[in-house]
Amino acid sequence: MSTRAALRYAKAILNLAKTDNSESAVYADMQLIEATIQGSNDLKVLLKSPIIKVSDKVNALEAVFGKQINNYSLGLIKLLANNKRLNVLEAVASDYQIIYDHLKSIEVAKVTTAVPLTAALEAQVIAKVKELTGHETTLTNDIDPEIIGGFILRVGDIQYDASIAKSLRELERSFDDSHYEAKI
């Protein structure tokens, strides 16, 4: 969940990283930080807990990320700690990626499938989206067994639903309409 504060921190770290062309390295760090927090309920609880000391939170984050992240990202963690804002770290990481993608004209395509995409299929989707938009593309793959098969592709404001679940809903609707017309 993004907040104004998270967006301000994300913009500040991006502007700082641009001074020595480190914005791509920080982008990779923000992806790592966001994915790590999203994948660990313990880390989420740690960051949001008002009971745990800020110094303990920083020590835990340094233990988790250690030498994996660059100095700007580490500085961000320490700044958030000093300002008692470590609870927005995940949102800052997410917002950073969004503004970085916008800055670099990178489209983010979201593909929802019933099963994970293979690497070959993922490459085909990225190539097709790049061909359609003319921009570099990153891809996120959400898994939703409810769509049964096919896919739902979302790029910016555009959504293309080629799921089997949608086809079944349309078929059901056409049966309902024809049943209704037959009664008249």
pLDDT at 44: 93
Domain boundary among 102, 136, 166: 102
Full pLDDT tens readout for the chain, 184 residues: 568 999 999 999 999 999 999 999 999 999 999 999 999 999 999 999 999 999 999 999 999 998 889 999 999 999 999 999 999 999 999 999 989 988 888 878 888 988 998 888 888 888 888 887 788 888 888 889 888 888 888 887 778 888 888 888 888 888 777 655 555 5
Q: Is the domain of 89 the same as that of 25?
A: yes
Q: Is the domain of 11 the same as that of 98?
A: yes
**Residue holding tokens 């020590």?**
59
* Whole-number Å distance between alpha carbons of 163 and 179: 25
Domain boundary among 69, 102, 135: 102
* Cβ neighbourhood burial of 82 (10 Å; 0-12, 13-18, 19+): exposed
Domain boundary among 102, 124, 150: 102
Q: Is the domain of 79 the same as that of 144?
A: no
Q: Is the domain of 81 the same as that of 114?
A: no
Q: Is the domain of 53 the same as that of 74?
A: yes
Q: Which domain holds residue 145?
A: 106-183
pLDDT at 180: 57
pLDDT at 179: 59
Q: Is the domain of 113 the same as that of 73?
A: no
Q: Is the domain of 15 the same as that of 97?
A: yes
Cα 158–chain centre separation:
17
Taking every pair of Cα atoms in the chain, the longest distance, rounded to a whole number of angstroms, is 73
Q: Is the domain of 110 the same as that of 98?
A: no
Confirm if 9 and 88 have CB atoms less than 8 A apart. Answer: yes
* Whole-number Å distance between alpha carbons of 129 and 152: 13
Domain containing 28 — which CATH number? 1.10.520.20
* Whole-number Å distance between alpha carbons of 57 and 179: 62
Type and span of the H or E element at 161: strand 158-163
* Whole-number Å distance between alpha carbons of 184 and 169: 23
Q: Is the domain of 135 the same as that of 54?
A: no
Q: Is the domain of 163 the same as that of 138?
A: yes
